[in-house]
A and B are shown apart, each in its own frame.
Chain A
């Protein structure tokens, strides 16, 4: 998995609450058997019309935000389905960090498996960052995972909370499966014990 430490880039503003995974990547793109190539269809039904032409008003179609690496959004971002295609599409587009007042549980976890940093901050802080993002491509926001800070283009700093284990895995780009496989002896002994206690499982 890709490591994440620091990121400075353009932030795209999406001031909408409850952005769901069907919006992020509609179901017709879930038929792939690969992880790559979904960036072209990120927010597909908001981004393109039925004929496949870009909708000019949509934020990621505007010249200032076509290269955005950060997304600032409303509360409950990523609600809905468990589809990891949502973070795959976000990452494939080039976005490495999503900032919102809150995230849906499964989406939040899925981000960490893909080198994406989801940052939850109080609404007032997100409001400031949203305003900063609305300034366009000259306003570059900075994220420092080690320090757990987001800095606006004006130098205003916000500190965010993050689970220490998740932070560690993201900074080191660690593979969860490899970590767990190293605990195989514990799993073996759990299974042996469970086979006695709950043989019907």
Chain B
């Protein structure tokens, strides 16, 4: 008997339903729970107060990332503020007391939770993955159903290994054809948000597909899914294929031997059926995507680098006021060519673009070049292992020779909870994911872009079309 055609999302969902109420509210089993120091202390405290245990400590992985300094002297506890230190120490203690897997700051495998999970083989196709962090969407690159949750839900998952959920709608985002030179995964994901808006994905799980997506490495796919949340979606997904299996094989926590074969058999069924129902479809031609930057304070404020700063009057509805507020905050004059906007700082890193391929792309532009005089530029690898690999490949020397600071792993200036911050009025070319007011520091100004574009900006001291340097 033929079963009803299903999307990839529906296949993973069905596999994880523990219990279902009449109104469609379900209890979903969680295969992997990632934990960091900022959104977990109140959850562990809740367990203590009610005398509860972590139900599946073997499926729970903790790593400090948001607060940790990325300077080379971070072994010195005084490099952290008192409150940051307390939060990291609380995670140390909670990981120990509740017996979960843990990568402390001193471990070379430490890094941003969304980079460590895949790197260690914790994230695998068909899994459900949650974390008290909106960028959990990253793990969708493996064909895993992955999304961010609040601290109350973190406590719920710790106690029960399940989550109460209602099924989302299905949205397909297809990127057809090939990408033009100089266009990367970051440009894809920003271009999609530019089209849908930051609320266009609300209520949906997005599956990204099409030739341009298939052509991406796992690193690139993670960049695309990472920002699904910036489009408002609950999660982003990419069906697993040979690229995925190749990446997973041999990772420390990936299955081995007969279990690998059994896993592969199931993983190969993880795709959307031809006749599956989509509630919404967006198709973009790969060749139409240009290298992009953001000009405003919402990730939907996306334009090709060849464009000009817009005016508030170019928008409609509530966006008119928001655009004016953004222009004032960003200190930009409508009509100014984007490639004439001067910057003070370059930040390369984050769970969006802190992986080895990102560093390779930036280094390829920077090789033999120098950072513009007076500019502050830093590279923060996403994990200790990314850092080590970049050093082995000679990328670290390229960055250092160009005048970049070569840092230790952490979230760093993506959200500036550690000492890496913008001063008021400073303008940053950033490979991170959010350009919100104050995100990288009080009154700091953020332009989001790809690692190659950030590297180009570092050389010229202004927003720059990377294609002119290739």
Q: A: which residues have CB within 8 A of B?
A: 15-18, 20, 22-23, 26-28, 30-35, 45, 50, 74-76, 79-84, 87, 102-106, 109-110, 113-114, 123, 163-165, 176-177, 179-181, 183-184, 186-187, 190-191, 194, 198-201
Residues of A within 8 A of B38 (CB): 30-31, 83
Is B78 among interface residues, defined by CB-CB distance under 8 A?
Answer: no
Is B234 among interface residues, defined by CB-CB distance under 8 A?
Answer: yes
B370 to chain A, nearest CB (A): 32
Partner among B87, B254, B325 whose Cβ is within 8 Å of the Cβ of A31: B87
Q: Is the CB of B319 within 8 A of A17?
A: yes
Q: Is the CB of B438 within 8 A of A22?
A: yes
Closest to B41 in A: A33
Is B19 among interface residues, defined by CB-CB distance under 8 A?
Answer: yes
Is B161 among interface residues, defined by CB-CB distance under 8 A?
Answer: yes
Q: Given contacts A20-B436, A23-B436, are A106 and B166 in contact (CB under 8 A)?
A: no
Is B202 among interface residues, defined by CB-CB distance under 8 A?
Answer: yes
Q: Is the CB of A75 within 8 A of B417?
A: no
With A20-B434, A76-B199 given, name 9 new contacts (CB 8 A). A17-B318, A31-B86, A33-B86, A81-B134, A82-B150, A105-B202, A109-B149, A113-B153, A201-B59
Residues of B within 8 A of A79 (CB): 198-199, 232
Residues of B within 8 A of A34 (CB): 42
Is B71 among interface residues, defined by CB-CB distance under 8 A?
Answer: no
Partner among A45, A105, A114 whose Cβ is within 8 Å of the Cβ of B152: A114
Residues of B within 8 A of A201 (CB): 31, 59, 124, 127
For the complex, give the distance between the alpha carbons of A196 and B83 in Å.
45
Residues of A within 8 A of B337 (CB): none
Q: Is the CB of A50 within 8 A of B27?
A: no
Is B45 among interface residues, defined by CB-CB distance under 8 A?
Answer: yes
Residues of A within 8 A of B148 (CB): 81-82, 106
Q: Given contacts A81-B134, A106-B148, A186-B27, are A75 and B415 in contact (CB under 8 A)?
A: no
Is B342 among interface residues, defined by CB-CB distance under 8 A?
Answer: no
Residues of B within 8 A of A113 (CB): 150, 152-153
In the complex, chain B residues 42-63 whose Cβ is within 8 Å of any chain A Cβ: 42, 45, 50, 52, 55, 59
Residues of A within 8 A of B81 (CB): 31
Partner among B31, B41, B202 whose Cβ is within 8 Å of the Cβ of A102: B202
For the complex, give the distance between the alpha carbons of A40 and B254 in Å.
46
Q: Is the CB of B166 within 8 A of A163?
A: yes
User: Which of B176-184, B217-225, B255-263 participates in binding chain A?
Assistant: B255-263
Partner among A105, A179, A181, A200 whose Cβ is within 8 Å of the Cβ of B234: A105
Q: Is the CB of B150 within 8 A of A109?
A: yes
For the complex, give the distance between the alpha carbons of A34 and B38 in Å.
11
For the complex, give the distance between the alpha carbons of A179 and B162 in Å.
12
Closest to A79 in B: B198
For the complex, give the distance between the alpha carbons of A81 and B415 in Å.
10
A184 to chain B, nearest CB (A): 8
Q: Is the CB of B437 within 8 A of A187?
A: no
A165 to chain B, nearest CB (A): 4
Residues of A within 8 A of B262 (CB): 199-200
Is B376 among interface residues, defined by CB-CB distance under 8 A?
Answer: no
For the complex, give the distance between the alpha carbons of A47 and B90 in Å.
30
Chain B contact-residue range equals 35 or more
Is B350 among interface residues, defined by CB-CB distance under 8 A?
Answer: no
19 sample A-B contacts, Cβ–Cβ < 8 Å, listed by A number: A20-B298, A22-B434, A22-B439, A45-B437, A76-B199, A79-B198, A79-B199, A80-B434, A83-B38, A84-B39, A84-B151, A104-B199, A106-B134, A110-B153, A177-B52, A180-B27, A181-B159, A184-B160, A200-B124
B468 to chain A, nearest CB (A): 33
Q: Is the CB of B160 within 8 A of A18?
A: no
In the complex, chain B residues 9-25 whose Cβ is within 8 Å of any chain A Cβ: 18-19, 21, 23, 25
Partner among A27, A87, A187 whose Cβ is within 8 Å of the Cβ of B162: A187
B14 to chain A, nearest CB (A): 12
For the complex, give the distance between the alpha carbons of A15 and B319 in Å.
11
Q: Is the CB of B149 within 8 A of A82?
A: yes
Is B321 among interface residues, defined by CB-CB distance under 8 A?
Answer: yes
Q: Is the CB of B134 within 8 A of A200?
A: no
Q: Is the CB of B150 within 8 A of A163?
A: no
Q: Is the CB of B164 within 8 A of A180?
A: yes
For the complex, give the distance between the alpha carbons of A5 and B438 in Å.
36
In the complex, chain B residues 205-230 whose Cβ is within 8 Å of any chain A Cβ: 229
Is B29 among interface residues, defined by CB-CB distance under 8 A?
Answer: yes
A200 to chain B, nearest CB (A): 4
The listed residue with most B CB atoms (<10 A of its CB), out of A79, A103, A110, is A79
Q: Is the CB of A165 within 8 A of B29?
A: no
Closest to A175 in B: B50
Is B133 among interface residues, defined by CB-CB distance under 8 A?
Answer: yes
Q: Is the CB of B203 within 8 A of A105?
A: yes
Partner among A45, A106, A181 whose Cβ is within 8 Å of the Cβ of B150: A106
Is B339 among interface residues, defined by CB-CB distance under 8 A?
Answer: no
A199 to chain B, nearest CB (A): 6
B118 to chain A, nearest CB (A): 15
Q: Is the CB of A33 within 8 A of B42?
A: yes
Q: Is the CB of A200 within 8 A of B318?
A: no
Is B364 among interface residues, defined by CB-CB distance under 8 A?
Answer: no
Partner among A26, A33, A165, A176 whose Cβ is within 8 Å of the Cβ of B438: A26
Q: Is the CB of B150 within 8 A of A84?
A: yes
Residues of A within 8 A of B300 (CB): 18
Partner among A20, A22, A163, A200 whose Cβ is within 8 Å of the Cβ of B23: A163
Partner among B90, B149, B260, B417 whose Cβ is within 8 Å of the Cβ of A30: B417
The digit string for B330-374, where 1 denotes a CB below 8 A from any CB of A, is 000000000000000000000000000000000000000000000
